[in-house]
Amino acid sequence: MIRGLQGEYVKQLTGIWRLLRFNDYAGSVVFTTCLGVAAAGGQFGWKMLLVLFANWLAVGFAFMYNDVEDAPDDAQDPKKVNRNPVTAGLLSVKEANIASFAVAVLGFTLFLPLGPTVSVLGAICIALGFFYSYRPWRFKGIAVLDVVSHMIMLSSLQLLCGYFAFAETLNTAYIAPLLSMTAASAYGQVFNQVRDFEGDQVVGLKNTAGLLGKPAAQILMQALLTLAVGAGAYALIIQQIAPLWVFAFGLALLFIIILPGVLRGIRSGNFQQAHAPVIYALPYVGTAMMAAWFVVPWLLPALRA
């Protein structure tokens, strides 16, 4: 009986970890949070770690609750039935809901010591994570609102939380990073909609790509990517929000990672395949850049001693 209980706990813990889907957003949250910290002139320390963990949990709730609400649909999709821990039988809907809202409460609790502005922004992020998937509202199924809520929930608010954890008033330093991250998040959402375009049309999903049509959505993707890269380059090179060596390091790393996949996509004439490596590489490159920028200088004095 004890072994049976242990096995049940292991199954539940496995299900909760899979529901959290940490790998899907860990890197992007690091990047956006640290850009906000940098725009405010913040430094590595407990406050930066606290806002980072709070942002992770707020975004984690959005991913978790999305899987709970999507469970009836995922149960009918052979490609998703085993990915979703609810439809895979690792968690009941009740257990998944409890885990999701526990993460939301913990995330909001971590925002509180960072001040009222950060707490309000964190609460808005958690609320958007709920209404993005909540079936009576389901922002992700409403054209235009799906992209707008996605980019605010998964980029803008993380950057602003990082910023206001260290600053009380706005300055112009935050505008270009915010614009870059917001455009990048919108690009990722439209990319996913273009990728799933045919399947979404079959089930009658009325998202932004469906409203625009696939060719127009691809043009929008290109425009958003251009804006994200341009605003990011301006923040890093012109504003010098980060040392130039950080930008050069990130650019070189990105080039090394994405070049083979991009070349394969170009040779095959596959638009989606050419863009996919960029989508998947950016969070990892961003995480490496932020670690090199914030953590390495912090460690150097200790290593020299």
Q: What's the CATH code of the domain at 132?
A: 1.10.357.140
3-state SS assignment for residue 109: helix
Question: What's the rounded Cα separation, in Å, for the pair 65 and 223?
Answer: 31
- Structurally, the chain folds into a number of domains equal to 1
Identify whether 19 is part of a domain. yes
CB atoms within 10 A of CB 98: 13
- Of the candidates 209, 212, 189, 188, which has an alpha carbon nearest to the alpha carbon of residue 198? 209
pLDDT band at 152 (very low <50, low <70, confident <90, very high): very high
Share of the chain above pLDDT 70, in %: 88
Tell me if 94 is assigned to some domain.
Answer: yes
pLDDT for residue 276: 62
Host domain of residue 116: 2-170
Q: What is the mean pLDDT of the chain?
A: 86
Whether residue 176 is contained in a domain is answered as: no
Is a pLDDT exceeding 60 seen at residue 261? yes
Minimum mean pLDDT range among 117-121, 166-170, 272-276: 272-276
Instruction: Answer yes or no: is 139 within a domain.
Output: yes
Question: pLDDT value at position 139?
Answer: 93
**In this predicted structure, what is the pLDDT of residue 252?**
85
The whole-angstrom separation of Cα 129 and Cα 153 is 7
Spatial neighbors of 218 by CB under 8 A, at least 6 apart, are 194, 271
Lowest mean pLDDT segment, chosen from 42-51, 202-211, 217-226: 202-211
Q: Which residues of 277-291 are buried (b: 16+ CB within 10 A; e: fewer)?
A: bbbebbbbbbbbbbe
Contact 34, 181 (CB under 8 A): no
Tell which residue, 122, 22, 29, 11, has the closest CA to residue 64. 22
CA angle 160, 162, 295 (to 5 degrees): 150
Per-residue confidence band for 52, with pLDDT thresholds at 50, 70 and 90: very high
